[in-house]
Homo-oligomer: A and B are copies of this chain.
């Protein structure tokens, strides 16, 4: 495998640090790497320029730099939530027989980014990439309920509570009350508010900082799924949401 020796060496310098050794001297690195100290110096100065390494001004020693944190966070953001959630969506669809969705927020709407139809599913309208309103969908209520307060206030400025069915929430005060209920219950339901005859429940998905980044839901027809069956789906869905969140880093102890 082709390799760039000087890059290889620099990355191995980054590996020298561990929990006990947060700082290292040039001469220590030189000895551990069996490289001349002026070679080590050049490598360190390049790493330093890019902020992967910094020099403690008090001791002259070197330590890991903030760029690692920055790039590491970016990586976390990129972890494909779809890939992580896919197995859970399959499991939900199988366990309930219904359609399960994965939705993220884009601006003032939700967007379907994945969907699995169960064996008894008859919900066909949703499509990946399609948008869904926040005020009258279970996933939308979840996303709105758990967004930061300031962001929610900005969202509601001039928000258009379009009527979808006779049961749609159409005023701000009722919506806010609904969101408080969602926070208490840790799930949301839209009971024919978006589509006549269709009931959905949704729960939040959190990332490593606890921030809600998506919602996962189960969608049903009232003609196919009675009240008791729907209620029984809620803990199953909650467990699923928790597992996805864990895989997204939520609950990982601050390290």
Contact = CB atoms under 8 A, between A and B. Distances in A.
A154 to B, nearest CB: 13
Interface stretch (A89-97, A188-196, A223-231, A243-251): A243-251
Contacts of A213: 19-20
* Copies of this polypeptide in the complex: 2
A106 to B, nearest CB: 5
Interface residues of A, number: 70
B76 A254 contact: yes
Contacts of A49: 1, 3, 8
Contacts of A80: 254
Interface stretch (A57-65, A159-167, A168-176, A178-186): A57-65
B61 A129 contact: yes
Interface of A: 1-4, 6-8, 10-12, 14-15, 17-23, 41-43, 45-47, 49-50, 52, 56, 58-59, 61, 63-78, 80, 104-107, 111, 113, 128-129, 207-208, 211, 213, 242, 246, 249-255
Contact of A19 (B4, B67, B77): B77
Contacts of A129: 23, 56, 58-59, 61
Nearest to A248: B254
A105 B20 contact: yes
**Do most interface residues of chain A lie in helix, strand or loop, or is the interface mixed?**
mixed
B75 A2 contact: no
B19 A208 contact: no
Contacts of A242: 255
A255 B76 contact: yes
Given A1-B45, A77-B19, A104-B20, A208 B128 contact: no
A20 B213 CA distance: 7
A106 B20 contact: yes
Contacts of A254: 76, 80, 208, 246, 249, 251-253
A204 to B, nearest CB: 13
A31 to B, nearest CB: 12
Given A20-B213, A106-B20, A106-B21, A208 B2 contact: no
